[in-house]
Amino acid sequence: MPSDSEAHPDEPDHHHHQPGKYSSDNSGCSHTTANSTHESTQGGARYDLERSIREFLDSTRQRARAGLKPDELVVKCPMCSPGKPRRLAYSAHLSTSTGAFVCTNCFEQGPWEKYQELAKRRIFQNTIPKCQTTEPPPFEFARATLRQLQTNLIAHEEIYTALTGHDKGQLKLNPKVLAQYGVGLGFVNTETPEIDDMQALVEGSDYSVPCLVFPRTAFRTNSFIEGNVETESSSALPLQPAAGPLRGGRKAKNKALSSMLKDTQEDDVLINNATDPSSFSADPTDSSGSIYRTVQLKVVGWNTADLEMYVPVDEAQPGLFGFHLAGSDTTDIILTGHELDAVAAFQETGIPAMSLPKGPYQLPLDTMRALERFERVYVWLDDDHQGAEAAKLITRKLGVDRCLIVHSKRGNPQGPKSASIALARGYDLTSVLESSRPVQHDKVLDFSALREAVKFEVTNPDLIRGVESTDFPGWNAIYKGLRPGELTILSGPTGCGKTTVISQMSLDFCKSGVSTLWGSFEIPNVRLATRMMGQLAKKDLSKSPLEVDYWSRKFEQLPIYFLKFHGSTKPDTVLETMRHAVYAYDVKHIVIDNLQFMMSMQAKGVDKYDAQDAAIATFRQFATDENVHITVVAHLRKDQPSADADINSVFGSAKVTQEADNVVILKRHGNSESKVRCLNVLKNRFDGTLGKVYMSFEKDAMAFKEIPPPRKRQAAKIVKSAGKLSIADRLLAEMESTNMLDHDADDSSGSATA
């Protein structure tokens, strides 16, 4: 077996120059000599550039990581990394061939000279002791650890059978393909905020639950790093293959284990004629001489839907699930939203498949750069409304000319939602892939381009409603969910809880995978994030300080981002930042809280109404162009009682509510001390349904809870004041009370067509 230092036999030497072929005539010789001189000059210039880069990185004591391209380094950004901790500082991608850099966080870019100039102007935050000349080596996994995680999966009869079995409800995944991807099984204690013990992940405990483990891979190194830093040895503890039953009550039956292992021994290419679990490849990248390595593990609960963790927590070096399967000569790839979909797609089509690293609807810039070298990308996300919108956005980012969108259902409303479900139902995934189509030009359409979309809306009315709230089911019945391309105005009197309710709703949508951008112009981001984290935990975390780290990790995994603006800000500046967030983070929901604070110093007198109208019109156009949902919080007019607030009570001219697709007013129900609030939908352009939703404020959780419509109490007062009543009078009072209650319920949930 070759050593780690030997080159991989299947990988080409990316930096080897092919010699020119000499011609038989003199002109050919002269031309070849000129080419040789030119190549020599280029080689010298490149050597000088690499030496300059190497010396500068040494002087700033950086440890460059290998990027997702063969000639790319991940280094500190000279613009946005100063002052950041090390785990967040490495966001710039530097080409060792040209010296050009681009930051995937702040979008700063330029040549090598600009990088040096900016870095000298803003000194990097450096936590390296002076006795060291560079930062600590990046985290690496022990091969035995990865081997044991794969062994755990085979040993767990229930989960392994669910993945590889061919009965109804089983996924029919090939064990050899699972091994090729390196899919494993670990055990996690749900009470711990993060995984800091690899041995505990492998062995588990009595309090842990089974989780699927998906390794993310990247280039191990490149020629630049090899010339500067030797390959580090593993920093994780090596683990021996476990013998006997697994801990935590998960006993493996020896007979079932042996039969499963026998089934995986048929193909010696991937499994190497394994006769025991320890003979599996320790790393899905075939660590002996491979140019790839495992850089991160994604851990997902098997029976626990909200359990998702990463090892290491910080993505110091970007990686992708399935990245190692695409060789240097690969031209086509499949991009999926989930890991098991990637396994199924690769298994049935033979085309390398990778999954999106940050949820099924987000394409980070790191991933986008890694996919630049492929000629064709099949975007195969969930075939529902949310997945279809995400697929369109991703194809625009990657380039519509080289992307094809795959629809698992192929027009059948009852069809499979994803690639793995299609495989489980017996569909021919190659045929599904061949039916993929490009995105039509978004400015010129005929009905043939709209026909399938129209059919989908007609046959799937529930799927086009948008992302629904899990906290407010009554809200879903009226509002019908959060839909892209719409503008919502949320208004209400001061102090009624507008920020609290919209932060709770946006957090609710975030948990469903909706990437959200918060623009809080009234409340500082720290205070807003503190409130939202308490809403996520459903408790006052100031009374449970030991749980702060746990919920911080949970909150950090949500796709939520914050604008660094406060108070008066020009709408054009806000819009530019919003456009960056949509491009970089695939944001689908933007909250502006609130309009009056953002526009406070932009104009005075009558002009402020014109400025506000212009801002609303700009937001309306942005929502349509970028296909995102924008929620704008606005005040009510001061000259009208809040109890009588209607659609004309929103601050500003009538254009504000005319431009909006939805208008919602939040107000107190009852007296000023009441904890009950009423969300009144006064405009709903989607289907015209209007109505009220009642909520009660829970102080400890800093959140609202939906409640039934409050009862009218007039009848109760009559009974109390009348003292002892006859049976007839009592029945009459009860009938009046029932009629009042029914009338109030109709008022709260009734519908009207706009």
Radius of gyration of the chain (CA): 30
pLDDT of residue 420: 95
The secondary element (H helix, E strand) that includes residue 404 is strand 403-405
The neighbouring-strand residues paired with 615 are none
Q: Bigger pLDDT: 734 or 483?
A: 483
pLDDT at 713 over 60: no
Measured CA to CA, the distance from residue 467 to residue 389 in angstroms comes to 12
Give residue 706's pLDDT band: very low, low, confident or very high (50, 70, 90): very high
Give yes or no for a contact between 73 and 63, defined as CB atoms under 8 angstroms apart: no
pLDDT at 261 over 60: no
Give yes or no for a contact between 349 and 432, defined as CB atoms under 8 angstroms apart: no
Q: Bigger pLDDT: 457 or 488?
A: 488
Q: Mean of the pLDDT values across residues 695-724?
A: 71
Give SS3 for 304. Answer: coil
Give SS3 for 264. Answer: coil
pLDDT of residue 5: 37
Measured CA to CA, the distance from residue 655 to residue 193 in angstroms comes to 48
Q: What is the pLDDT of residues 86-138, one digit of tens each?
A: 667 888 889 888 899 998 888 788 999 999 888 887 666 544 444 444 455 56
Q: What is the pLDDT of residues 50-79, one digit of tens each?
A: 888 888 888 887 878 888 887 888 888 888
pLDDT of residue 587: 93
DSSP-assigned letter for residue 708: P
Instruction: Centre a 10 Å sphere on the Cβ of residue 525 and count the other Cβ atoms it contains.
Output: 15
Give residue 731's pLDDT band: very low, low, confident or very high (50, 70, 90): low
Q: What is the pLDDT of residues 263-302, one digit of tens each?
A: 333 333 333 333 333 334 445 654 445 788 898 999 999 9
pLDDT of residue 96: 87
Q: Mean of the pLDDT values across residues 157-168?
A: 94
pLDDT of residue 289: 55
Residues contacting 7, CB < 8 A, separation 6+: 13, 289
Burial of 693 per CB tally in 10 Å (0-12, 13-18, 19+)? buried
pLDDT of residue 671: 76
Q: Bigger pLDDT: 138 or 651?
A: 651
- pLDDT cut 70: percent of the chain above it: 72
Taking all residues of the chain, what is their mean pLDDT, rounded to a whole number?
78
pLDDT of residue 243: 33
Q: What is the pLDDT of residues 530-577, one digit of tens each?
A: 999 999 999 999 898 889 988 998 898 899 999 988 888 888 889 999
Q: Which amino acid is at 364?
A: P
- pLDDT cut 90: percent of the chain above it: 38
Q: What is the pLDDT of residues 390-409, one digit of tens each?
A: 999 999 899 888 999 999 99
The neighbouring-strand residues paired with 93 are 74, 102
Q: Which of 1-5, 510-514, 655-659, 666-670 has the highest mean pLDDT?
A: 510-514
502-511, 627-636, 652-661: least confidently modelled range = 652-661
Q: What is the pLDDT of residues 323-341, one digit of tens each?
A: 999 988 999 999 999 999 9
pTM for the full predicted model:
0.67
E-assigned strands of 115-240?
184-189, 208-219
